[in-house]
Structure 1
Amino acid sequence: MRLLVIAAAALMAAGCAVGPDYKAPETPLPVSWKLEAPWRQAAPNDVADKGAWWKRFNDAQLDALQDKALAGSPTLVIANARLAQARANLDASSASRFPQLGLGARASRLKISANRPLTNYATTNASTVQNDFALSLNASYELDLAGRVQRTVEGATASAEQSAADLANTRLVLTADVANNYFNLRSTDIELDVLARSIGLQRRALELVTARHDLGAVSGLDVAQQQALLETTLTQVDVLKKQRAQYEHALATLTGTPAPSFALPVDLREIRPPAVPLGVPSEILQRRPDVASAERSMAAANAQIGVATAAFYPSFIISPNVGVDSRLIESLFNGPSLLWSVGVSATQVLFDGGRVRANVDFAKAGYDATVGNYRRTVLVAMQEVEDGITGLSALDSATTQAQAAVAAARRVLDMATSRYEGGASTYLDVITAQQSLLTVERQAAQLQGQRLLTSVFLVKALGGDWDAPA
Structure 2
Amino acid sequence: MTMRKPSMKFGYAFAACLGLAGLAGCTPGPAYVRPSVSVPAKFKEAGNPQQPPPQGWQRAQPQNADDGDWWKVFGDPTLDALEAKLSVGNQSIKKSLADLQQAQAMVGVAKSSYLPQVTAGASASSDHTSKNVVGHSLAGRTVQDYSAGVTASWEPDLFDRIGHAVDAAKARAQASQADLASVSLSMHAELALDYVDLRQLDREATLLKQLVDDYTQARALVQTQFDGGIASESELQQAETELEVAKAQWIDLGEVRAQREHAIAVLMGVPPANFSLAPVEQTLPLPTIPAGLPSTLLERRPDIAAAERRVAAANADVGEATSAFFPDLVLSATGGFEASRFSQWAMLPSRFWAIGPALVGTLFDGGRRHEELSAAEARRDAAAADYRQTVLSAFQEVEDKLTSQHVLADESIAQQRAVDASSRAAKLAMVRYQDGATDYLEVVSTQSVNLAQVRAQVELSRRQFAADVGLIKALGGAWGEY
Q: Same fold per TM (> 0.5)?
A: yes
For 1:11-410, what aligned pairs fall within 5 Å after superposition?
A: 15-33=25-43, 34-36=45-47, 40-42=51-53, 44-46=58-60, 50-106=67-123, 108=124, 110=126, 112-113=128-129, 115=131, 117=133, 127=141, 130=144, 132-277=145-290, 279-285=293-299, 287-327=300-340, 335-410=348-423
Asked if structure 1 preserves the Cα contact closer than 8 Å seen for 2:110 and 2:165, the reply is yes
The separation in 2 between residues aligned to 1:449 and 1:391, in whole angstroms, is 12
Alpha-carbon deviations, 1:183-233, whole Å to 9, x = none?
Answer: 011111111111111111112111212221222212222223222322332
Structure 1 pair 87/117, CA: closer, same or farther in 2 (3 Å)? farther
**Comparing 275-284 and 437-446, the one that deviates more:** 275-284
Asked if structure 2 preserves the Cα contact closer than 8 Å seen for 1:272 and 1:452, the reply is no
Alpha-carbon deviations, 1:425-460, whole Å to 9, x = none?
Answer: 232221122112212221222222222222211111
Structure 1 pair 410/283, CA: closer, same or farther in 2 (3 Å)? closer
How many equivalent pairs are there? 460
The separation in 1 between residues aligned to 2:297 and 2:46, in whole angstroms, is 16
The separation in 2 between residues aligned to 1:303 and 1:155, in whole angstroms, is 5
**SS of the residue 1:134 aligns to:** strand
User: Given the alignment, which residue of 393, 398, 413 partners 2:426?
Assistant: 413
**Comparing 268-277 and 95-104, the one that deviates more:** 268-277
**SS of the residue 1:312 aligns to:** coil
State the Cα distance separating 1:113 from its structure 2 match: 4.1
Q: Which runs of 5+ in 1 are unaligned?
A: none
Asked if structure 1 preserves the Cα contact closer than 8 Å seen for 2:129 and 2:138, the reply is no
RMSD: 2.9
Structure 1 pair 409/37, CA: closer, same or farther in 2 (3 Å)? farther
Asked if structure 2 preserves the Cα contact closer than 8 Å seen for 1:181 and 1:250, the reply is yes
**TM-score, length-normalised on structure 2?**
0.87
Structure 1 pair 111/388, CA: closer, same or farther in 2 (3 Å)? closer
Structure 1 pair 8/433, CA: closer, same or farther in 2 (3 Å)? farther
State the Cα distance separating 1:63 from its structure 2 match: 1.4
Asked if structure 1 preserves the Cα contact closer than 8 Å seen for 2:21 and 2:157, the reply is no
State the Cα distance separating 1:117 from its structure 2 match: 4.2
The separation in 2 between residues aligned to 1:124 and 1:94, in whole angstroms, is 47
Structure 1 pair 82/220, CA: closer, same or farther in 2 (3 Å)? same
Alpha-carbon deviations, 1:256-276, whole Å to 9, x = none?
Answer: 111223221101211113222
**SS of the residue 1:82 aligns to:** helix
Asked if structure 2 preserves the Cα contact closer than 8 Å seen for 1:44 and 1:279, the reply is no
Identity of aligned residues (%): 34
Structure 1 pair 80/124, CA: closer, same or farther in 2 (3 Å)? closer
The separation in 2 between residues aligned to 1:124 and 1:239, in whole angstroms, is 95
State the Cα distance separating 1:332 from its structure 2 match: 5.3
State the Cα distance separating 1:370 from its structure 2 match: 1.1
One-letter amino acid of the structure 1 residue matched with residue 295 of structure 2: P
**Comparing 254-263 and 337-346, the one that deviates more:** 337-346
Asked if structure 1 preserves the Cα contact closer than 8 Å seen for 2:69 and 2:479, the reply is no
Structure 1 pair 147/295, CA: closer, same or farther in 2 (3 Å)? same
The separation in 2 between residues aligned to 1:129 and 1:360, in whole angstroms, is 51
Structure 1 pair 157/400, CA: closer, same or farther in 2 (3 Å)? same
**Comparing 456-465 and 50-59, the one that deviates more:** 50-59
Q: Which runs of 5+ in 2 are unaligned?
A: 1-13
**SS of the residue 1:316 aligns to:** strand
One-letter amino acid of the structure 1 residue matched with residue 446 of structure 2: A
User: Given the alignment, which residue of 438, 443, 448 partners 1:435?
Assistant: 448
